[in-house]
Amino acid sequence: MTWEERWHPLREEWVIIAAHRQDRPWTGETVKHQNEPRPPYVKDCYLCPGNARISGAVNPSYDGIFLFDNDHPSVGLDAPTPPATGSDVYRNRSAQGIARVLCYSPRHDLSLAQLEVCEIERLIAAWQREYVDLGERQEIDHVLIFENKGEVVGVSNPHPHCQIYATNFIFKTIETEVKASSRYLSEKGRTLFSDIIAAEQRDANRIISENETAIAFLPYFARYAYEVFVAPKQSHQSIASLNDAEARDLAEVLKDTVVRFDNLWQMPFPYVMPLHQAPTDGGDYRAFHFHIEFHPPLRRPNLLKYLAGPEIGGGNFLSDTSPEEKAAELRALPNLHYTMRK
Ligand SMILES: [Zn+2]
Ligand SMILES: [Zn+2]
């Protein structure tokens, strides 16, 4: 049983791994799952083709991906200018930015795991375009692309989609990773994330999926039971500079990873999936290595990882599971989606 603290070199913080606690009795609330098959089209879904959205806009009869500006944006170019605070300690400013929604497929009943590799390649191409187009804008310093999946992370509409927040600031985790990566490069002359990949390859115990140019692994310092990082092996500051072969390889490894997630408990596996990419504010980000992170909130089919005293109160994670054991679990699963098996 693993019982130790592990250093998270990207976040520069300790993670307590206390795997001997995982079987402690639980009498609290458990999570119920809806596992009934969904129809391919839903009349009142605001993401399905041909349907009207709350803004009055009508979705086109799209047949690949579909991108639109969020009807309830958290940041917007027309956000109001707030009144001055009149305080030395409190600051404010306009919530400038662009918020978009990107549907993966016209099919309401599919998920990333059920898309064909070529469809995921088209999705990657869209992510590349959005990063470049939004990042080029003077007022945008960072482009955060993420997918929230599952009711337990607050998603009410299961239609497969991700969101894009292009903001006038750099999100905190990216800022932390940028600083850690830059310091590492100047101290060691090497890229931090490349060294993490090399360490995972040397150890090999936590690798989930790998091909010529892409890799998925459950990191040594994982904070969540089934946390997985997916990345190109070559260092790229963002997804935009992947060539076609690298994009294809990334699509394959990404699919393999999410299929294993769904196969774990034979149900749609919830997660938060951010793409971590270099800021677009014109800074020097040579040290940054683009990667995709999966943060799944469940540690058992019906049991949430609650964020409590250590995480919310103290800011460091307590993990009740061994990364090596969880990686072995994922690796042992078939890579054909359970809905495709007879
Ligand atoms: Zn839909
Ligand atoms: Zn990251």
What are 255-265's pLDDT values in tens digits?
A: 999 999 999 99
Which ligand is in closest contact with the Cα of 177? 2
What are 298-321's pLDDT values in tens digits?
A: 999 888 998 999 999 999 999 999
Which ligand is in closest contact with the Cα of 176? 2
Catalytic site residue from 108, 142, 161, 291:
161
Annotated active-site residue 33? The verdict is: no
Taking all residues of the chain, what is their mean pLDDT, rounded to a whole number?
A: 95
Ligand 2 mean position, distance from CA 199 (Å): 16
What are 159-182's pLDDT values in tens digits?
A: 999 999 999 999 999 999 999 999
Provide the residue count of the chain: 342
| pLDDT the model gives residue 342 | 66
Written as six digits, the tokens of 163 are 């969101």
Ligand 1 mean position, distance from CA 109 (Å): 8
Ligand 1 mean position, distance from CA 43 (Å): 8
- List the one residue out of 266, 280, 275, 262 whose CA is nearest residue 123: 275
Percent of the chain with pLDDT over 90: 90
For residues 179 and 13, the answer to whether their CB atoms sit within 8 Å is no
Cα 164 from Cα 320, distance rounded (Å): 32
| pLDDT the model gives residue 95 | 96
Ligand 2 mean position, distance from CA 43 (Å): 37
Average pLDDT over residues 285-301: 96
Residue with tokens 């913080």: 13
Which ligand is in closest contact with the Cα of 175? 2
Ligand 2 mean position, distance from CA 178 (Å): 9
Contacts of 191 (CB under 8 A, 6+ apart): 181, 184, 185, 235, 287, 289
Which ligand is in closest contact with the Cα of 43? 1
Ligand 1 mean position, distance from CA 56 (Å): 16
Cα 334 from Cα 337, distance rounded (Å): 8
